[in-house]
Structure 1
Amino acid sequence: MTTSATNSLFAHNALLPQGWARDVRLSWDAQGNLTGVEAGASAMAYESQENFVLPGMVNLHSHSFQRALAGMTETGGEGPDSFWTWRDLMYRTALNITPGQMQAIAAQLYTECLRHGYTSVCEFHYLHRAQDGSLYADIAETARRVLAAAQASGIGITMLPVLYSHADFGDIPLRHDQRRFATDGENILRMFAALESERNGQVEIGVAPHSLRAVRPQQIRELLAALPVRRPVHIHIAEQQREVDACLQMTGKRPVELLFDTQEVGARWCLVHATHLSAAELQMMAASGAVAGICTTTEGNLGDGFFDLPAYIAARGRFGIGSDSHVSQSPVEELRWLEYGQRLRMQQRNVAQASSRRRVGDFLWNEALAGGAQAAGRDVGRLAAGARADMLVLDGQHPNLAELPAVDVLNTWMFTGNDNLVRDVYVGGNKVVENGRHKDQAAISAAYAAAMAELRALPT
């Protein structure tokens, strides 16, 4: 095999699909796809040699504009605060963001995600219309801005234009402060068609019916019937108990039960949150091959509740993680609190594991890689020929990792302190983070600061 210093990397320890391997040469082509993964190799003089290399994580659920709210909604109100009071504050912010600000905020977010170990993102994008509620001349204007932010940062992206037609069950009309979200099936099909030319090794296009309270089941069926059968489909489901109660009152069924009764749910689906499930619903999800999109830091921030991870693991369900509202941009924190939440709930330790993989860090990282890749609809999350060359290089000189056996790396990274141990990040073979710093961090951060200054100057 012919390689060069620009398209290969030598890892003394690399996390391959079958586990950690020694002395691995990773090679990729000009399109950013891995062409060779050779264990037991010898390093060439021109090759960068690294101690610990592993696949980058997929962030399977993102509302990038909500990065602007992080830290701004943590003051108590006159009465009890909840997801629903937070949502009102979020709507207020969403009404004011311009396309240019949206792009600057997304680019900043994506650099932060990259620096912490996410190399792909699924963008659940529903801020489609202008501030007055009218459609832009280019119906995909704001989606293109987010795609431009992804390109500027270097992160891979699955763009998911969101169908959002009603305020609640029973076809309740959208509120005035939801006017920027309003779409019907025709709007989404037009956006989808407009974005098809953007597809490449870094970009996939899917769709996202927002939720069963915002979209009728018939709308979902009609939309999916008009789209390619293998594109990703994401939906919010059963995030809040109030949502479950409203669904029961209006339809006589719980949300996941209603979804499975009205749709052909399978491996292309990602069911985001799924916090409040009956035992039967959990079994249906696991058996379907769909991915549970768990967003622990956001679910904790909003007081949603805990996903029943132990029962889902026992049912062999697939799951991945997302940063959602972006109170955290770290996959390590997302996974750590996914485990710690279960420990607090059950008063047990080492919950996320299986007989074939007893180390909790290994189980969580590998399961989230597989579930995230499936939800993204892209060949990512694995160091294998044909997959994208999306790789993390950990700081092998950090005191937490120095002289550490590879088998202990994931547990140590996940459960020892808060230092960011990601040193370098490659996406599609391009090094976008070096020594912990994004290649265009200064310019992207300056644009973000300017956008935030404009938003903060608006009257409240």
Structure 2
Amino acid sequence: MTVIHAGAALLTDGWQTDVTLTLAPDGTIARLGGESPDHRVGILLPAPANVHSHAFQRAMAGLTETRGPSGRDSFWTWRQLMFRFLDRLTPEDIRAITAQVQMEMLESGYASSGEFHYLHHQPGGAPYANLAETSAAICAAASKTGIGLTLLPVLYEQGGVDGRPLGPGQIRFGNDLDRFQDLHAQAAKTLSALPDDARIGVAPHSLRAVTHNALAELAQSSGPIHMHLAEQVAEVDEIKAAYGARPVEWMLDNCPPDKNWCLIHCTQMEPHETAALALSGAVAGLCPLTESSLGDGIFDGVRWLESNGAIGIGSDSNIRISLAEELRQLEYSQRLRDKGRAVLAAPGGSTGRRLFDAATAGGAQAIGRNSGQIAPGYLADLIALDADDADLIGRSGDQILDTWIFARDDRLVRDVWSAGRHVVQNGRHVARETISADYRACLSRLAEVM
């Protein structure tokens, strides 16, 4: 048993002082209370999940900020650069990059991650002898970092909604439904070697990339189902031209999502779509830093939350991994659009508290994880903040969250537990040196072949 004492903690019934909790060997919270603490922390919070990551893209951060000759860059020009980059990656590169990403997630306050994994095959598109070779690399990284992993193997069947073949940059992603199911089974077998809190789901990539039949088949899955939806104007136009309805309208009419679903981005929705999709119970997987980087647009967070919609937060392209900054950017995007302040807060309430509570609850739902609360029976996914930081002097309750999210950064994160695994201590991951060395060696090799 591990016993933690916190000067202040955010529990299910609100902020409490002088809190002790006991962790069970299975990684859950056994009870509130305990004696002879093993760890004393200042401020204890439930740790959210990162609901959407393409880990390999971390290694290309900073390589796509040059304006192209056309004079107007977009998601689609960025995607071409991404295709060229990924063709150099080996499974060992994927493992090293993913470990670095997961370490940075943990150090920023996430305890778990949903890895939306579509880089399945060799350069040129030939499968590895083990169809799940690159999924195994993701699992190896999770074993090293101790993060709680929900692996989301991606089905990617076609190059566009018209059924055209996959292009050169996409062939490492491609599977038909039968081969994907074999890949998924092998990935699940590999995942079984991780701790019991690891999960597997499915991810039909998007309405552009999967057929109706495959989508209907994957929609029957009992675990988490993640899919990109209504991210770009061109995507909306393509779906509307082919299916006679906008993406969200088509989904609601033909493949209605429920609480198992996490729909990523949703930045191109009409007001009626926003309200209707929120009522479905699906989580909106928001990645505000990446959505800003790619020029996706602004998610209608005000209408979504007013409709009791659930949200989760992800780091997507991983150009910048920061839980506090993602939440801040979500709120600031609404302020810029609506020319107001504290836009996502409930009347009379704290903005930081509403954002944090929503991301914690929605993140757990999205990746199928029994977390998000400091309460007996829940996984011990925990963040300890530095109560001695100068900016927290005189702050208590929700002011702590407001200060962390809007005035400070991840340097406030001192400790993180993932299912009871004490993976961040004194602000640093316990395996930072070896993980960073592997990542540096990977980048040095890639620099030689790019």
State the TM-score, normalized to the length of structure 2.
Answer: 0.96
* Match status 1:32 vs 2:23: no
CA contact (8 A) 1:239 1:276 kept: yes
Q: Which amino acid aligns with 1:302?
A: L
**Stretch deviating more after TM superposition (265-274 or 168-177):** 168-177
Taking the aligned partners of 1:291 and 1:45, their CA distance within structure 2 comes to: 40
In structure 2, the CA distance between the partners of 1:171 and 1:23, relative to structure 1 (3 Å rule), is same
Q: Equivalent residue of 1:420, what SS?
A: helix
Q: Which amino acid aligns with 2:374?
A: L
Taking the aligned partners of 1:71 and 1:56, their CA distance within structure 2 comes to: 28
Q: Which amino acid aligns with 1:177?
A: G
* Match status 1:23 vs 2:15: no
- Residue 107 of structure 1 corresponds to which residue in structure 2? 99
Deviations 1:179-203 (A, max 9, x none): 1000121122112222334244331
Taking the aligned partners of 2:178 and 2:325, their CA distance within structure 1 comes to: 39
**Stretch deviating more after TM superposition (424-433 or 442-451):** 424-433
- Residue 253 of structure 2 corresponds to which residue in structure 1? 261
- Residue 444 of structure 1 corresponds to which residue in structure 2? 435
- Residue 285 of structure 2 corresponds to which residue in structure 1? 293
Q: Equivalent residue of 2:116, what SS?
A: strand
Deviations 1:156-182 (A, max 9, x none): 011000000111111121102211000
**Stretch deviating more after TM superposition (327-336 or 412-421):** 412-421
Taking the aligned partners of 1:212 and 1:46, their CA distance within structure 2 comes to: 51
Taking the aligned partners of 1:455 and 1:359, their CA distance within structure 2 comes to: 45
Q: Equivalent residue of 1:53, what SS?
A: strand
Per-residue deviation, 1:419: 5.7
Q: Which amino acid aligns with 2:422?
A: K
In structure 2, the CA distance between the partners of 1:334 and 1:246, relative to structure 1 (3 Å rule), is same
- Residue 58 of structure 2 corresponds to which residue in structure 1? 67
Taking the aligned partners of 2:241 and 2:13, their CA distance within structure 1 comes to: 47
Per-residue deviation, 1:46: 4.2
Which segments of structure 1 move beyond 6 Å, counting only runs of 4 or more? none
Alignment match of 2:129 (pick from 123, 131, 137): 137
Per-residue deviation, 1:269: 0.2
Unaligned runs of 5+ in 2: none
Per-residue deviation, 1:403: 4.1
CA contact (8 A) 1:117 1:425 kept: yes
* Match status 1:435 vs 2:426: yes
- Residue 361 of structure 2 corresponds to which residue in structure 1? 370
For 1:302-341, what aligned pairs fall within 5 Å after superposition? 302-341=294-333
Aligned residues: 446
CA contact (8 A) 1:238 1:244 kept: yes
For 1:405-420, what aligned pairs fall within 5 Å after superposition? 405-418=396-409, 420=411
Per-residue deviation, 1:362: 0.3
Q: Which amino acid aligns with 1:209?
A: P
Taking the aligned partners of 1:68 and 1:224, their CA distance within structure 2 comes to: 32
Alignment match of 1:156 (pick from 117, 136, 148): 148
For 1:391-410, what aligned pairs fall within 5 Å after superposition? 391-410=382-401
- Residue 266 of structure 2 corresponds to which residue in structure 1? 274
Taking the aligned partners of 1:379 and 1:210, their CA distance within structure 2 comes to: 25
Unaligned runs of 5+ in 1: none
RMSD over aligned Cα atoms: 1.4
Q: Which amino acid aligns with 1:426?
A: W
Q: Equivalent residue of 2:20, what SS?
A: strand
Q: Equivalent residue of 1:135, what SS?
A: coil
CA contact (8 A) 1:52 1:406 kept: no
- Residue 40 of structure 2 corresponds to which residue in structure 1? 49
Deviations 1:47-68 (A, max 9, x none): 4222200011210000000001
**Stretch deviating more after TM superposition (56-65 or 196-205):** 196-205
State the TM-score, normalized to the length of structure 1.
Answer: 0.94
CA contact (8 A) 2:324 2:410 kept: no
